[in-house]
Amino acid sequence: MGKSSGKKWYSWYFDFNLLYRILIGLVLGVILGLVFKDKILWIQPLGDLFVRLLKMIMMPIIVSTLIVGASSVSPANLGKVGIRIIVLYLITSAVAVVIGLIMGAIFQPSANLAMENVADAAARIAATPKLSDTLLAIVPTSILQSLVNEAVLAVIFAALIMGIAISYLRVSGDERKEKAAAVLYNFFDGVAEVMMLIIKGIMQYAPIGVLSLVSVVFATNGPKVVGSLGVVTAACFIGYALHVIIVYLGMVKFYARLPIKRFFRDAKDPFITAFVTRSSNGTLPVTMEAAENLGVHKDIYSFSLPLGATINMDGTAIYQGVCATFIAFSVWGHGFSIPQMGIIVVTATLASIGTAGVPGAGAIMLLLVLDSVGLPVTAGSVVAGAYAMILGIDALLDMGRTALNVTGDLSCTTTVASRMKELDMKKWAK
Ligand code: ASP
């Protein structure tokens, strides 16, 4: 204190561009993980701290932004935005499954089964959700309980309903009701703003969190990736890349008629954050800031992005297509028939909707997809062995699919905003 120069010994850290700091953390993490292997695992708590900080604000952000989002759109507009964004989310997810299946058919990944992870797979089998249960669970029996249990879909459902109700009350014409609705709206708006400020602070810790998370992934998975699972990894990542090029670039350039370069200037921040945190929900604040910088009207993104972070999972859909094919080839020695592929497109699209935006959730929903085509993962079975192998590299696959998941949310949101003329084009002139 008392010194007027203002420069502290740690000032250099905060003065340095955040994105570069995160990238340096990423590269250092890869190097440390590969070089020190097991010896670097002590670093894990530093990464866990980052994930915990993000998770801490996850539920308040989802609730506040969704309620504000749904209630700040007029009832007439809500229908228009809602239907457009949901249709776009569904179409892109279905296309993603098809790309995943095509990648699987081209690469034909197959494995000599290593059974060592079977116990782990068996533990997950117990947790296999039935499709009807997954869908029913969207409607909470207790809103508070679903908040406490972090049942994201149920919370989203309740928040949306509340937001929609507030939006109707705000234009009800009854002064008392309109005032009451305004109080609620302002309250949740305040919560949302506070959360956004907190996330700015948390992001200052991101470079260290990233370094730690990435080094642990590479320390535990590094060498395995080069084996037969390397093919699965390559098929997934090429699928992810194709989806970005064909679907997102195509949509932004030709449907929204916007310059790609400008889009990616802001889209890269959530892309990188998702890549390292492996959580669409955790990345949500960063995705929102990107949407803001892209000039998307708050009415749209505060509604579409939290929704997308939970129901729009294109990367997860591709992953499910590729991994189901890998398991089929490993177990049957051949891939899927056309009707089976049709079933996978439907179930994987639904499964990706039901996948929570948290690390590793897609691997659990993969069980649903496998079940639908006669590849049930049962304890000790060959299918379980193949599935266990996938689990071994899940962290790596999850990084790519989560990055894609959030880029999909941002692409669809920007596209809908542009089509509805709700995009501040001044931000695109720069
Ligand atoms: N980790 C992914 C996400 O948060 C979900 C998944 O595991 O596929 O978007």
Q: Is the CB of 357 under 6 A from ligand 1?
A: yes
pLDDT value at 114 more than 60: no
Taking the centre of ligand 1 as the mean of its atom positions, its distance from the CA of residue 361, in whole angstroms, is: 5
Taking the centre of ligand 1 as the mean of its atom positions, its distance from the CA of residue 132, in whole angstroms, is: 21
Q: Note the pLDDT tens digit of each residue in 229-247.
A: 789 999 999 999 999 999 9
Residue 3's pLDDT band (cuts 50, 70, 90): very low
Domain range for 412? 23-428
Q: Is the CB of 65 under 6 A from ligand 1?
A: no
pLDDT value at 182 more than 50: yes
What are the structure tokens assigned to 214, written together?
């990435």
pLDDT value at 119 more than 50: no
Residue 115's pLDDT band (cuts 50, 70, 90): very low
User: Facing residues of 423 across strands?
Assistant: 296
Residue 266's pLDDT band (cuts 50, 70, 90): very high
Q: How far is CA 159 from CA 70, 143, 147, 350, in A?
A: 8, 9, 10, 21
pLDDT value at 286 more than 80: yes
Is 218 domain-assigned?
yes
- 176-180, 315-319, 354-358, range with the lowest pLDDT: 354-358
Q: What is the pLDDT of residue 399?
A: 94
Q: What is the pLDDT of residue 169?
A: 93
Q: Note the pLDDT tens digit of each residue in 200-211.
A: 788 888 889 878
Q: What is the pLDDT of residue 5?
A: 57
Nearest to 409 by CA among 341, 276, 336, 316: 316
Question: Could you identify the atom of ligand 1 that is nearest to the CA of residue 315?
Answer: 8
Nearest CA to ligand 1 atom 8: 362
Q: Name the DSSP letter for residue 296.
A: B
- Amino acid sitting at position 109: P
Number of domains, the chain: 1
Question: Could you identify the atom of ligand 1 that is nearest to the CA of residue 309?
Answer: 9
Q: Is the CB of 279 under 6 A from ligand 1?
A: yes
Which of 213, 319, 358 most suits a substitution to test ligand 1, by most atoms within 8 Å of the C-beta?
358
| Span 49-67, average pLDDT | 79
Residue 1's pLDDT band (cuts 50, 70, 90): very low
Q: What is the pLDDT of residue 223?
A: 60
Q: Note the pLDDT tens digit of each residue in 11-32.
A: 888 888 776 787 788 789 888 9
Is 8 domain-assigned?
no
Taking the centre of ligand 1 as the mean of its atom positions, its distance from the CA of residue 364, in whole angstroms, is: 10
The CATH number of whichever domain residue 389 belongs to comes to: 1.10.3860.10
Question: Could you identify the atom of ligand 1 that is nearest to the CA of residue 406?
Answer: 9
For the chain, what percent of residues have pLDDT higher than 70?
88
- Cα 114 to its chain centre, rounded Å, is 30
Is 1 domain-assigned?
no
Q: Name the DSSP letter for residue 336.
A: -
Between CA 116 and CA 357 the distance in angstroms is 28
Is 309 domain-assigned?
yes
Nearest CA to ligand 1 atom 3: 357
Q: Is the CB of 314 under 6 A from ligand 1?
A: no
Which of 124, 278, 286 most suits a substitution to test ligand 1, by most atoms within 8 Å of the C-beta?
278
Q: What is the pLDDT of residue 130?
A: 64
Q: Name the DSSP letter for residue 41.
A: G
Q: What is the pTM of this model?
A: 0.74
Q: How many helices (H) and strands (E) does the chain have?
A: 21, 0
Q: What is the pLDDT of residue 9?
A: 84
**Helical H segments across 37-117, by residue range:** 44-72, 75-107
Crossing angle of helices 44-72/175-203, nearest 10°? Answer: 160
Q: What is the pLDDT of residue 398?
A: 93
Q: What is the pLDDT of residue 131?
A: 67
Q: Note the pLDDT tens digit of each residue in 292-345.
A: 999 999 888 988 998 898 789 999 999 999 999 998 888 887 888 888 888 888
Q: What is the pLDDT of residue 14?
A: 84
- The position carrying tokens 């989002």 is 69
Q: Note the pLDDT tens digit of each residue in 395-430.
A: 889 999 999 999 999 999 999 999 988 899 888 886
Crossing angle of helices 152-170/75-107, nearest 10°? Answer: 150
| Span 154-159, average pLDDT | 84
Taking the centre of ligand 1 as the mean of its atom positions, its distance from the CA of residue 386, in whole angstroms, is: 20
Residue 132: other Cβ atoms inside 10 A: 8
Averaged pLDDT of the chain: 84
